[in-house]
């Protein structure tokens, strides 16, 4: 996606909520390539609310990934392995 | 995917079981821990839930077909264990409350009401626990779909199987969940001094 010219963009989207749903389908990898092409190439560059929504959705996903994933404590991992191995021995 | 019934039982040697356990189950342990932690919101409960799940997975290993989607299979066991063993005793709202919540959030009206005005710049300043707290504050069913989709990258179809709900429900629940998350985040943004238009 290139950088669109804000002055040429619509400031209002009549179907903002439907567009948001489509946007989420696309970002979730669940949209068809036609839906994707139409939305990303045609709609997004001319519609300010949807353009903003796109960047917001992407930013939230990035933030979730960097801030909401924690690894299992190593002690717990070892513990589980040991329990299963003991289980095998029985 | 199925844990007990309708899955053809495999016949594995002890060595094969070990290979599957270490090669296909253990690689998902960090994602599984995170899921357990985000569901229970308690480090000790998460530990127990994870341990129960892995021991259960081992016990039912012959219901798992080698080389299929181990991650989805494990996530489904964990989610079922959570519902059966933890959700009951926790202070989570009951199923009835939840259905009210969901039908409320499924009304089109709410879609129009919830148009959180949140800006990317505000998100960039959320370098602490804001997003984590916002996620944890969501009702567990909304929290779950965000974890499965945005953190773990499951497809809608896989999520439908893990959660035993139709794909349409996955899609709508996810949409509501994201609106609710944005709502929480815009509260933080406001507190941080970002004006909402
Ligand atoms: Zn639009
Ligand atoms: Zn549109």
Is A62:B30 a contact under the CB 8 Å cutoff? no
Q: How far apart are CA A20 and CA A16, in angstroms?
A: 6
Q: Any residues with CB less than 8 A from the CB of B23 and at least 6 apart, and which? A: none
pTM exceeds 0.90:
no
Which residue from B50, B55, B178 is facing A76, i.e. has the nearest CB?
Answer: B50
Report how far apart, in Å, the C-alpha atoms of A66 and of each of A62, B47, B131, B150, B178 are. 6, 22, 10, 11, 17
Q: Which residue has the tokens 């964990």?
A: B78
Interfacial A residues in 30-89 facing B (CB < 8 Å) = 30, 52, 55-57, 59-61, 63-65, 67-73, 76-77, 79-81, 83-84, 87-88
Can you give the pLDDT at residue B121? 85
Ordered by where they begin, the domains of chain B are 14-86 (1.10.1740.10), 98-191 (1.10.10.10)
Report how far apart, in Å, the C-alpha atoms of A79 and of each of A16, A36, A63, A82, B56 are. 50, 46, 31, 5, 15
Can you give the pLDDT at residue A6? 81
- What spacing in Å lies between the alpha carbon of A12 and ligand 2's midpoint? 10
Which residue from A25, A70, A76 is facing B47, i.e. has the nearest CB?
Answer: A76
Report how far apart, in Å, the C-alpha atoms of B35 and of each of A46, B56, B96, B98, B196 are. 39, 16, 24, 20, 33
Q: Tokens for B135, please give them.
A: 């996620």
Burial of residue A4 (CB within 10 Å: 0-12, 13-18, 19+) is middle
| pLDDT tens per residue, range A25-71 | 999 999 999 999 989 988 998 999 999 999 999 999 999 999 999 99
- What spacing in Å lies between the alpha carbon of B156 and ligand 2's midpoint? 22
Can you give the pLDDT at residue A42? 86
Q: Tokens for A55, please give them.
A: 């960047």
Q: Tokens for B3, please give them.
A: 């844990």
- What spacing in Å lies between the alpha carbon of A40 and ligand 1's midpoint? 11
Positions in chain B whose pLDDT score sits under 70: 1-7, 88-116, 196-197
Long-range contacts of B41-46 (CB under 8 A, 24+ apart): B41/B136, B45/B86
Q: How far apart are CA A58 and CA B53, in angstroms?
A: 32
Can you give the pLDDT at residue A2? 59
Can you give the pLDDT at residue B100? 52
Q: How far apart are CA A85 and CA B9, in angstroms?
A: 22
Q: Is the ipTM of this complex over 0.85?
A: yes
For residue A56, give the chain B residue with the closest CA.
B120
Which residue from B58, B131, B175 is facing A24, i.e. has the nearest CB?
Answer: B175
Average pLDDT of the segment spanning A79-90: 79
Contacts of B171 in chain A (CB under 8 A): 21, 25, 30
């Amino acid at each position: 996606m290139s950088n669109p010219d804000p002055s040429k963009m619509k400031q209002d989207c009549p179907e903002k909520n439907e567009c948001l749903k489509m946007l989420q389908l696309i970002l979730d990898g669940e949209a068809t390539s036609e839906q994707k092409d139409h939305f990303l190439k045609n709609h997004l560059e001319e519609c300010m609310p949807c353009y903003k929504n796109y960047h917001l959705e992407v930013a939230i996903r990035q933030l979730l990934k960097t801030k909401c994933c924690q690894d299992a404590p190593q002690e717990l991992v070892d513990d589980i392995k040991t329990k299963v191995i003991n289980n095998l021995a029985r | 995917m199925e844990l007990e019934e309708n899955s053809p039982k495999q016949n594995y040697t002890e060595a094969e079981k070990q290979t599957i356990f270490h090669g296909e189950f253990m690689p998902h342990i960090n994602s599984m821990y995170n899921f357990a932690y985000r569901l229970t919101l308690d480090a000790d409960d998460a530990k127990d839930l994870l341990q129960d799940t892995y021991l259960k997975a081992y016990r039912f290993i012959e219901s798992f077909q080698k080389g299929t989607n181990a991650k989805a299979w494990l996530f489904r066991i964990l989610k079922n264990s959570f519902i059966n063993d933890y959700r009951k005793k926790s202070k989570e709202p009951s199923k009835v409350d939840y259905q009210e919540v969901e039908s409320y959030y499924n009304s089109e009206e709410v879609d129009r009401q919830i148009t959180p005005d949140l800006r990317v710049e505000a998100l960039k300043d959320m370098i602490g626990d804001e997003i984590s707290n916002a996620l944890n504050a969501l009702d567990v069913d909304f929290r779950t779909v965000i974890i499965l989709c945005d953190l773990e990258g499951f497809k809608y179809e896989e999520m439908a199987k893990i959660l035993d709900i139709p794909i349409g429900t996955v899609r709508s629940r996810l949409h509501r969940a994201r609106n609710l998350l944005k709502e929480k985040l815009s509260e933080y943004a406001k507190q941080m001094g970002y004006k909402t238009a």
